[in-house]
């Protein structure tokens, strides 16, 4: 993260905290079996294991997003889970779920965008991508 300019560090923390807070605050509903969560995962045919599994992955993603050196991995995990959530909304659930006005869909989009921004900002930390963004080597003439 040391290679980021000051404004990039601030942007990084804002998007990472935003995504992590959203991911972590939804865990209560998933792990306690809140009616909305049970409804959603029943409708997509993944109750209860999909609810628990996505909750565990979201917990790991939220923690990793707060890490300085592994935030890219948390962003990648969050983007994967949110990709599934967005597709479920677009294909099975609909944008509005149980009269929420589209809030859950908007939260999924927010986490996805924050994760994408995190991946772009921290692209040099991603092992299989970093080599494409490293400084060119100087030749000794």
Taking only the tens place, the pLDDT of each residue in 49-82 is 999 999 999 999 999 999 999 999 999 999 999 9
Locus of tokens 């109750």: 47
Residues 6+ apart with CB under 8 A from 62: 19, 20, 23, 24, 27, 74, 78
Task: Indicate yes or no: pTM above 0.85.
Answer: yes
Interatomic CA distance for residues 129 and 133, integer angstroms: 7
């Amino acid at each position: 993260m040391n290679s980021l300019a000051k404004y990039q560090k601030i942007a990084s923390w804002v998007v990472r905290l935003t995504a992590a807070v959203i991911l972590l605050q939804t865990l209560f509903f998933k792990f306690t079996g809140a009616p909305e969560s049970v409804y959603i995962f029943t409708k997509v045919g993944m109750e209860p294991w999909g609810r628990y599994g996505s909750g565990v992955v979201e917990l790991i993603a939220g923690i990793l997003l707060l890490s300085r050196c592994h935030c890219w991995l948390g962003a990648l995990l969050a983007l994967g889970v949110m990709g599934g959530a967005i597709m479920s909304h677009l294909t099975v659930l609909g944008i509005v779920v149980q009269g929420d006005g589209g809030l859950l869909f908007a939260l999924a989009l927010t986490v996805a965008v924050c994760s994408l921004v995190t991946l772009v900002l921290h692209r040099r930390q991603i092992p299989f991508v970093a080599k494409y963004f490293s400084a060119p080597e100087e030749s000794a003439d």
